Amino acid sequence: QTKSNGGGAYRFFASEMNDQILKRRGLEADMRRGLDADEFFLLYQPRYDARSMRIRSVEALVRWRHPERGLVGPAEFIPLAEETGLIAALGVHVLRLACRQAIEWPGIGVSVNVSPVQFRGSDFVATVSEALSVTGLAPARLELELTEGVLLEDTERAGLILNSLKARGIQLSMDDFGTGYSSLGYLKRFPFDAIKIDRSFIADLHAVGESRAIVQAILGLGRALGISVTAEGVETAEQLTLLRLDGCDEVQGFHMAHPSKAEDIPRLCAMAEAASRSS
């Protein structure tokens, strides 16, 4: 009796595990297939100069156009891609797409998000250099958005990689600034050109309140260090007004523009340009 129960429980447990493994393997195989079938593409979200309100650059944001599941966002596949190592292939694809696309938009830059796993891979600098040389994009027009996670493990090695990217003329920004534990120390240690204030500080930004004080302090920090500050997740006119009043350098968010198809970017640039000239 006991023996058969135990066996049953074991079999149940084993089959649960199997289900999970199978599901993961399924997803992994699906992603591999999707990469081969060219199902991963980029949307681009404009980043505006807060003074002129012209578009300075666009951030590339990956999407998966899945044959059955429809449009899938990065939150649903980046973690799996990191676990399985597929992030390397995806990262190369994203970098090339973004650089190639940016060639068609003279006068603006493009920023690409970099996963910590991708960054730690053996040949990250080579991957970036290759994307630039294959597409012919000027290094100064490419910005890499890094989160604190990129820098956490081997800070010495991270420093070498960042310096060598910097030496090639590539721009570096710290994404989701304010959410980690060591952002301040990293600003001192690494050659960042820009900070992107995490959108959680912008979400409850009002004339009076803690978030405004924090945002103002980050803006002061940026000025003191000679680093450009971008506010991400700007959703309302009030937030935009406060950020411009407080001297924020750059703004990005649904209030100005959502992540958009490549074909819509020239029109968004022209609209911003016209609005800027008439104001």
Tell me, rounded to whole angstroms, the distance of Cα 138 from its chain centroid.
Answer: 20
Using CB under 6 A as the binding rule, whether residue 235 contacts ligand C2E is answered as: yes
The separation between the first and the last C-alpha atoms of the chain, rounded to the nearest angstrom, is 83
Using CB under 6 A as the binding rule, whether residue 31 contacts ligand C2E is answered as: no
All residues at 6 or more sequence positions from 169 whose CB lies less than 8 Å from its CB, including other chains: 138, 139, 140
Residues between 259 and 278 with contacts to ligand C2E, criterion CB under 6 A: 259
Identify which range of 60-68, 99-107, 221-229, 241-249 contacts ligand C2E by CB under 6 A. 60-68
Structure tokens at 171: 């721009």
Instruction: Please choose which of ligand C2E, Mg ion, none residue 57 contacts, taking the beta carbon within 5 to 8 angstroms, the exact cut-off set by kind.
Output: none
Least Cα distance to 84 among 34, 37, 45 occurs for: 34
CA distance 10 to 41: 43
Q: Exactly one of 45, 57, 101, 113 binds Mg ion (CB under 5 A); which one?
A: 113
Q: Exactly one of 175, 229, 262, 272 binds Mg ion (CB under 5 A); which one?
A: 175
Distances in whole angstroms, Cα of residue 27 to Cα of each of 30, 40, 82, 208, 218: 5, 14, 13, 47, 40
Using CB under 5 A as the binding rule, whether residue 250 contacts Mg ion is answered as: no
> What's the closest the beta carbon of residue 168 comes to ligand C2E, in angstroms?
20
Distances in whole angstroms, Cα of residue 268 to Cα of each of 46, 205, 277: 8, 26, 14
Using CB under 6 A as the binding rule, whether residue 174 contacts ligand C2E is answered as: no
> What's the closest the beta carbon of residue 10 comes to Mg ion, in angstroms?
42
CA distance 265 to 106: 12
Distances in whole angstroms, Cα of residue 127 to Cα of each of 33, 114, 149, 269: 22, 12, 20, 29
In sequence order, the β-bridge partners of residue 42 are: 62
> By rule CB under 6 A, what string of x and - marks binding of each residue 97-116 to ligand C2E?
----------------xxx-
> What's the closest the beta carbon of residue 14 comes to ligand C2E, in angstroms?
34
> What's the closest the beta carbon of residue 100 comes to ligand C2E, in angstroms?
14
> What's the closest the beta carbon of residue 217 comes to ligand C2E, in angstroms?
20
Using CB under 6 A as the binding rule, whether residue 78 contacts ligand C2E is answered as: yes
* Site residues for Mg ion per CB under 5 A: 113, 145, 175-176
Binding residues (CB under 6 A) for ligand C2E: these are 45, 60-62, 73-75, 78, 94, 113-115, 145, 175-176, 199, 232-235, 253-254, 259
